Amino acid sequence: MHVLPYLVAAYVFLTGCYGLAASRNLIHAVGCLAVCQCATYVLLLAVGYRDGATAPVFSDVKPGSRPVVDPVVQALTLTDIVVGATVTALLLALVLQIAKRHGTIDPDELRELRG
Amino acid sequence: MNRLRLGLLAVGGAGLAALLVAACLDLPDFGGSRHPYGDRAVRASLARHIANTIASVNFDQRAYDTLGEMSILFAAVLGCVVLLREARDERRARPEPAEVVRPVRRYALLVLPVALLTGLYVIAHGQLSPGGGFQGGVVAATGLHLLYLGADHGALERVRPLGFFETADSLGVCAYLVLGAAGVLAGTAFLANTLLPYGTFDTLSSGGTVPLLNAAVGMEVASAVVVLLAHFLDQAVEIEEEPGR
Amino acid sequence: MSDAVTVVALLLVAASATAAVAQRDPARQALVLSFLGMVLAVLFTVLQAPDVGLSQLAVGSALTPLLIMLSVRKVRRRGRTKEERT
Amino acid sequence: MHHLIPLLAAVPLFGAALLVATGRRLSRAAAEITGFVFSGGTAALALVLLLNSAPPMTEWVGGWLPVDAESVGILVVGDGPALGMAALASLLTLAALAYSWRYFDQPPRERTGSFTALMLVFQGAMCGFAVAGDLFNAFVFFELMSVVAYALTGYRIDEAKAVQGALAFGVVNSLGAYAMLMGIALLYARTGELAMAKIGRGLDAAAGPGGPDALVLASFVLVLTGLLVKATAVPFHFWLPDAHAVAPTPVCMLLSGVMVELGSYGVWRVYGTVFAGPGGIPAADLTRALVTLGTLTAVTGAVMCWYQRHIKRLLACSTVAHTGLFLVGLGVLTPEGDDGVALYLLGHAGVKAALFACAGVLLDRFGSVDEHALHGRARRLRATGVMFAVGAAALAGLPPFGTALGKAVAEEAVGGPLTAVYVVVSAITGGAVLRVTARVFLGLGPRPQEAEYEISGSDEEPETSGRLRRIPDTMTTVPAVLLAASLAVGVVPGFGALVARSVNEAGSGGAHASVHWTGHGLLLDAASTVLAAALAGLAVTRPRRAAAPDRAAPLRRLQSGHVGDYVAWLLVGAAFLGALALPGVLGG
C-alpha cells in the first residue's frame, strides 16, 4: 500500500508508451498518449495525499478541525488535465489532416519523411 | 512491429521501468503528513476568505499558471480552427438530418437545460465548493452539444453562432490579462489580488478578484470547448473533399 | 475501508489503462478511455480531490472520447466515400 | 521595474487575444500591424528589462512576497540569461513577422489574423519559459510553446509532409513534457516545493550522507528528458528534421533560431538551480552525461546534415549538430563554457534564421528547395546567394562573426579532443551549406546524378500565392539584418564581456571569466572555415566520392518517419541518460 499508487502511475506511463510505440493507427496512438498522461494525474495526487485527511474545501468543514490533503497538487492536476485535453484535440486535428492527405492513418504506411 | 523497434522498446522500457521502480521505493510513503507548500497554501487561502483552497491556489496564489493553462487552451483551439479549416479542395455539404429515436430526442432536450444550469452553477460557486470555471465551462459546452442529438445539426448551428463564441473565447483571455495587469498599474504586482475587498468567508463574492478570474476562465473554457467541438463535428458530418482527387 | 477502496480503484485504473492500450480499434478504445476516465474520477474522489474528479469526469470521460469518436467517424466516412467513387 | 517581468508573457498573449476577437473585421494589413505593435512592444520591454538586469531581479507574481523565506506564489527571474533569451525570442519573432509580411498565401477566409496571433502566442510562451523560476510554471509555458509550435508546423494543411511532421513533433514533444511532469511530481514528493531554488535547497537538506538516491536520479532523468527532447539531443532528435523541414519558413526561423536553444537553456537553468547542490547530481556525472550526449548529437547532426539535399532539412540537421556543441559546452560546467555557449547561441540564432529566410526565397522563386534540381538555377538571385554564402561561412566559424567568437571561447573551455569535435562539426555543417551555395547560386561542378533518395524537396508547394512578381524587400532585408546582428555579436566591443558578465552573475559559480578574441581561437576558427571551404570544394568537384549517399545509409535509415520508432528511441534515450548519470548514485 505504501508504494502501490506510485507503482501504478509508473506502470500506466510505461503501458502508454508501449501502446504509442506499437500502435498501428494514429487515432489509437493519440489515445495511448492520453493514457500516458493519466499516469501524471495519479502520481501527482498520490504524492499529495495525507492519511485520514479531508478535501481542502472549507465550506462545511471548520478550518483547523481536520487535516486536509495537499491542495497544490490538485491545482497542478487540474492544469494538467486541461493541457491533456487540448493536446489530444490538436493532435487529433493533425491526424484528420493526415487521413486526408495520405489516405491512411497507419504509421507503417506513412513513408514520406525518411532519411 | 519491426525487430529494431521492439528491441529498442524492450531496452528503453526496461531501463526506464527499473529507474521508476527504484524511485518509487525511495518516495515518502503514500499518505504521509509532510506537505509544506500545501499547508502554506491552506493558510494563505483562509487569510483571503476563500473556502475552496484549490480555487485560491488556481486563481490567486498560482494564478500565473492558470494564465498559462488558459493560453494553452486558447492556442490549441486557435490551432484546431486553423488546422481544420476548409482546405482548397474541400467543400461543405448539407448533411441530411439524421434520424434520432424519439425517446433519445426527448431525453436530450430534457437534459440540455439541466446540463447548462449545472455548468453555470459550478462556475459560479468555484471559490466555495468543488468545481470552478474550468469544470463548469466544460460541462456547459458539452451539454450544449446534446442539442445535436436532441434536434439536428441545423438547430445546433442556429443556437451556436461560432463567431460569437470565438470572440467570447478571446475576450475571456483578455479579461484575465486585464485583471492581471490592473495589479501592475496599481503598483503592486501582476495578478495581485489586492484591489478588491476579500468579503465574507464562504459567500459568492468572497475572495477579491478570485470570482472575477474564475468567471473569465469559465467564459473562456465554455466558448473554447464549443468552438473545438463545432470544428470536429463539422469535419465529421459536413466537410467533404471535392471529387476527382 | 477507504484503503480498500483506494486499492481497488488503483487496480482498476491499471487494468483499464492496459485495456485502453490493448484495444486496437479506436472507436472501442474511446469507450475504454471513457471508462478509464470514470475510474480515475472515482479514484480522485477517494483521494479527497473532488475538484479534480469533476474535471476528469467532464474531460476524460466525456470530451476526449467524444473527440476521438468524431475523428473516427470522419476517417471512416472518408474511407467510405473513397470506396464508392472507385 | 521587476513588476514588469511577467508582462513579457502577458503582452503578446493580449495581442493574440485581441487579434482573434477582432479577427473577422480586420484587414490583413491591420492585423499584421497589430502583430508588429505587440511583438515589438514586448521586444522593447525585454530589452529595457535586460539593460536593468544587473544585479539580477526576481519577482513574485501576484505579490506573494516570501514571509520567513516561504512563499506560496510563483517566482519569475529577471537575470541576464533569462531576459536575454526573452529578448532573443522577441526579436526573432519580430523578424519572422516582418519576413512573412508579403510572404504567405492569402490567409484563410474570416481568419485574417490567425497566423499572426499564433506567432504572438509563441512569442509569449518562449518569453514565459525563459523567465520561469518555478518548475511547474516552466512546464506550463513549455507546453504552451509546444502546442503553438505543433499548430504552426502543420499550418499548411494542404501539404502531406507538413501535417505528418507536425504530428511526429507533437507526439514526441508531448511525451517528453509528460516525462518532465512525472519528474516534477517526484521532486515535489521529496521536497514539497515547486520553486526551482527551493527544490534545490530541499534536495540538499534531504540528502543523507550517501548523497543522491534513485529518486533524485529518476527525477533528473525525467525532467532532462523533457528538456532534451526540446533541445533535440540524440536520441531524442528525430522529430526535428521532420518538423523543421516542413514548417512554413518564418516558423522555421523561430524553431531553429530560438525554440530548440531554449531547451539547452532549460538544461542549464534546471541543472544550475535544482541539481547542482550536494543533494543533486554530482558534477562529474552531469559532465559525463551532457558531453557524451552532446558529442553524439553533434556528430550525428553533422553527418545527417552533410548527406541531405533538401535544403531546409539540411539546415534543420545543422541545428541538431550545433545543439550538440551547445550541450558539450554547457556540460563542462565552467564559466567560460557557459559564456562561450551564450555567445555561440546568439550568433547561431541570427545566422540560422537568415539561412532559413534565404531558403524561403528559393522556395518562393522555384517552388523547390532541392539542391540537385536547383543546380545553377538561382544564379540571378545575387543578393540571396551572397547572404547564403556569408551565412555558411559564419556557420563554419568565420571570424569576426558571433558564432566564431562563441565557438572560440567554448573551444578553449572544453579543451582536448572536444575542441576537435567543435572544429570538425562546425566545418561540416558550414561546408554543407557552402556546397549548396556553390551548386545552387553559382552552378559550379557537374550536375549531380539522380540517386535513389527518399526526400528530394523538389515537389514542395510554394508558400506564396502564386509566384510573387518580385521578391518583396522584406524577404531580403530581414536575412541581411539578421546576419548583421550576428556579426555585431562578434565585433561590437565589449558585447562579449557584457554577455559573459551577466551569464556568470546568474550562474551558480560566481566566478567571472573574461571573454575576448585570442590568437588561438582565431586560428581554430580559421581552420574550421578553411576546412569547410575545402569540404565544399571537394563535394562540388568530386560529387561521387564526397557525397556518396550510401555511406550514411544506416544512420539515415534510423530517421524512419515512424512515430513509434521515435517513441522507442525516446525511452532508450531516457534509460541511457540514467545509465550515464548512475555512477554518482551508486558510488555515493
- Annotated domain spans of chain A: 4-109
CA distances from D144 to B75, B133, D194, D223 (A): 8, 20, 19, 17
3-state class (DSSP) for residue B91: strand
Distance of CA D71 to the CA centre of its chain: 33
Interface probe with C: pick from B135, B147, B229, B240, most Cβ of C within 10 Å: B135
Cα D229 to the center of its chain, rounded Å: 11
Interfacial B residues in 78-137 facing A (CB < 8 Å): 79-80, 83-84, 87, 128-130, 134
Task: Give the model's confidence band at D410: pLDDT under 50 very low, under 70 low, under 90 confident, else very high.
Answer: very high
pLDDT band at B110 (very low <50, low <70, confident <90, very high): confident
CB-nearest to C70 from B131, B134, B236 is: B236
Of D175, D246, D564, the CB nearest to A22: D564
For B93, other C-beta atoms within 10 Å of its C-beta total: 10
Cross-chain Cβ contact A35/C33 below 8 Å: yes
D473 CB burial (10 A radius; 0-12, 13-18, 19+):
exposed
Weakest-pLDDT range from B115-119, B128-132, D284-288: B128-132
Rank B75-89, D99-113, D422-436 by mean pLDDT and report only the highest.
D422-436
A55 to chain B: which residues are within 8 Å by CB? 130
User: Can you tell me whether residue D471 is helix, strand or coil?
Assistant: coil
Q: Which of B27, B54, B65 sits opposite A71 (nearest CB)?
A: B54
Interface contact A7, partner B, CB < 8 A: yes
Question: Cβ–Cβ of C52/A77 closer than 8 Å?
Answer: yes
- Each residue of B216-234: pLDDT tens digit? 999 999 999 999 988 888 8
Q: Which residues of chain D lie closer than 8 angstroms to B239, CB-CB?
A: none
What is the C-alpha separation between D292 and B67, in angstroms, rounded?
38
Greater pLDDT, B155 or D399: D399
Q: Region D350-373: what's the mean pLDDT? A: 90
B108 pLDDT above the threshold of 50: yes
Closest-CA distance, D70 to chain A, in angstroms, reads: 15
Q: Does D242 touch chain A (CB under 8 A)?
A: yes
Contacts of A20 in chain D (CB under 8 A): 171, 175, 563-564, 567
- B177–chain A Cβ distance below 8 A for any pair: no
Q: Are residues B191 and B150 in contact, defined by beta-carbon separation less than 8 angstroms?
A: no
| Among B1, B82, B178, beta carbon nearest to D151 | B82
Chain C's closest residue to B232, CA to CA, is C70
Using DSSP, state whether D195 is helix, strand or coil. Answer: strand
Report whether pLDDT(B164) > 90. Answer: no
Average pLDDT over every residue of A6-35: 95
Is the Cβ–Cβ distance between D472 and D103 less than 8 Å? yes
A60's grid cell? 462545511
The answer to whether B30 and A1 have CB atoms below 8 angstroms apart is yes
Tell which of C2, C63, C71, C76 to mutate to test the B interface (max B CBs under 10 Å): C63
Q: How far is B197 from chain A (nearest CA, A)?
A: 19
**Contact check, Cβ <8 Å, B9/A21:** yes
pLDDT value, residue D460: 64
D371 part of contact set with chain A, CB < 8 Å: no
Chain-chain contact of A32 with C72 (C-beta, under 8 angstroms): no
The answer to whether the Cβ–Cβ distance between B232 and A92 falls below 8 Å is yes
Determine the distance in angstroms separating the CA of B131 from the nearest CA of chain C, rounded to an integer. Answer: 5
Kindly state the average pLDDT of the residues B7-22: 95
pLDDT at D419 over 90: yes
Distance, in angstroms, between B95 CA and closest chain D CA? Answer: 22
Residue A34's contacts (CB-CB under 8 Å, 6 or more residues apart) are A16, A84, A88, C33, C60, C64
Q: Is D458 on the interface with A (CB under 8 A)?
A: no
pLDDT reported for residue D166: 94
D588, B29 contact by CB (below 8 A) = no
Q: Do A96 and C74 touch (CB under 8 A)?
A: yes
Mean pLDDT of chain D: 89
CB contact under 8 A, D189 and B184: no
Residue B137, all three cell numbers: 465551462
Q: At which residue does the C-alpha cell 556557420 appear?
A: D395
**Secondary structure element (H or E) that encloses residue D78, with its range:** strand D74-78
Say whether pLDDT at D527 is over 50.
yes
Question: By percentage, how much of chain D surpasses pLDDT 70?
Answer: 92
Give D550's pLDDT tier (boundaries 50, 70, 90): low
The reply to whether B38 touches chain A by the CB within 8 Å rule is yes
Summarised one tens digit per residue, pLDDT across range D363-398 is 888 888 888 888 888 888 889 999 999 999 999 999
Query: Chain B closest CA to A101's CA: distance in Å?
Result: 10
Can you read off the three cell numbers belonging to residue B54?
484549490
Rg, Å, chain A Cα set: 19
Q: Do B36 and D193 touch (CB under 8 A)?
A: yes
Contact between chains at C63 and B142 (C-beta distance less than 8 A): yes
What is the distance between the alpha carbons of residues D371 and D128, in angstroms, rounded to a whole number? 38
Inform me whether the pLDDT recorded for B243 exceeds 60. no
* C4-to-C43, C45, C50, D233, D581 alpha-carbon distances in Å: 11, 14, 19, 44, 39
Q: Do B190 and D23 touch (CB under 8 A)?
A: no
Q: Cα separation of D322 and B108, whole Å?
A: 58
**What are the pLDDT digits (tens) for C47-76?**
999 889 989 988 988 899 999 998 998 888
Q: What's the mean per-residue pLDDT of chain B?
A: 84
Write the DSSP assignment of D487-547 as a string of letters.
HHHHHSTTHHHHHHHHHHHHSSS---------HHHHHHHHHHHHHHHHHHHHHHH-HHHH-
Alpha carbon distance B65, A29 (integer Å): 28
- What's the pLDDT at D450? 59
Model-level pTM? 0.95
Rounded CA separation D208/D213 (Å)? 9
Is pLDDT larger for residue D159 or for residue D431?
Answer: D431
C-alpha cell at D518: 585570442
Residue B70, φ and ψ in degrees, nearest 5: -70, -25
**Is residue C84 very low, low, confident or very high in pLDDT (cuts 50, 70, 90)?**
low
pLDDT in the model for residue D258: 93
Chain C environment of A61 (Cβ under 8 Å): none
DSSP-assigned letter for residue D559 = -
pLDDT digits (tens, 9 = 90+) for D84-117: 999 999 999 999 999 987 666 555 556 778 899 9
- Examine chains D and B and say if they touch (3+ CB pairs below 8 A): yes
Contact residues on chain B for D181, CB-CB shorter than 8 A: none
Distance from CA of D318 to the nearest CA of B (A): 26
Identify the weakest region by mean pLDDT among B93-97, B190-194, C8-12, C78-82: B93-97
Interface test with A, best of B69, B214, B242 (most A CBs within 10 A): B69
Please tell me the predicted confidence (pLDDT) of residue B245: 38
Q: Choose among A13, A47, A114: nearest Cβ to D454.
A: A114
Instruction: Please check whether residue B59 is in contact with residue B214, taking contact to mean a CB–CB distance below 8 angstroms.
Output: yes
The pLDDT assigned to D436 comes to 93
Q: What are chain B's partners, defined as 3 or more CB pairs within 8 angstroms? A: A, C, D
Which of these ranges, B30-44, C65-79, D355-369, D453-467, has the smallest mean pLDDT?
A: D453-467
Long-range contacts of D558-561 (CB under 8 A, 24+ apart): D558/D238, D559/A113, D559/A114, D559/A115, D559/D238, D559/D241, D559/D242, D559/D304, D560/A114, D561/A110, D561/A111, D561/A112, D561/A113, D561/A114, D561/D164, D561/D168, D561/D242
The residue extents of the domains of chain B are 35-241
Smallest Cα–Cα separation from D184: which of A83, B33, C11, B53? A83
> D204-224 pLDDT, tens per residue?
988 777 778 899 999 999 999
* pLDDT of res. D109: 58
Lowest mean pLDDT segment, chosen from A75-84, B9-18, B85-94:
B85-94
If you measure CA to CA, which chain A residue comes closest to C21?
A: A19
**Cβ within 8 Å, pair A100-B87:** yes
Inter-chain CB pairs, A–C, below 8 Å: 129
| Least confident stretch, A2-16, C18-32, D137-151, D574-588 | D574-588
Q: Do A37 and D178 touch (CB under 8 A)?
A: yes
Which one of C53, C55, C70 has the shortest CB-CB distance to B134? C55
- The residue whose grid cell reads 550562474 is D507
- Exposure class string for B14-35: b at 16+ Cβ within 10 A, else e: ebbbebbbbbbebbbebbbeeb
Could you tell me which residues come within 8 angstroms of residue D463 by beta carbon, excluding any fewer than 6 positions away?
D103, D104, D105, D156, D248, D249, D360, D363, D364
Residue B244, pLDDT score: 43
Q: Exposed, middle or buried: residue D549 (CB in 10 Å: 0-12, 13-18, 19+)?
A: middle
Residue B204 has what pLDDT?
73
Q: What would the pLDDT profile of B208-219 be if each residue is shown by its tens digit?
A: 888 899 999 999
What's residue D588's pLDDT? Answer: 55
Q: Is A57 on the interface with B (CB under 8 A)?
A: yes
**D7 contacts chain B (CB < 8 A):** yes
Lowest-pLDDT choice from A100-114, B100-114, D283-297, D488-502: B100-114
For A4-109, CATH gives 1.10.287.3510
Task: Flag the least confident range among B157-171, D277-291, D415-429.
Answer: B157-171
Of the candidates D7, A50, A79, the residue with the CA atom closest to the CA atom of residue B58: A79
* Interface predicted TM-score (ipTM) of this complex, two decimals: 0.94
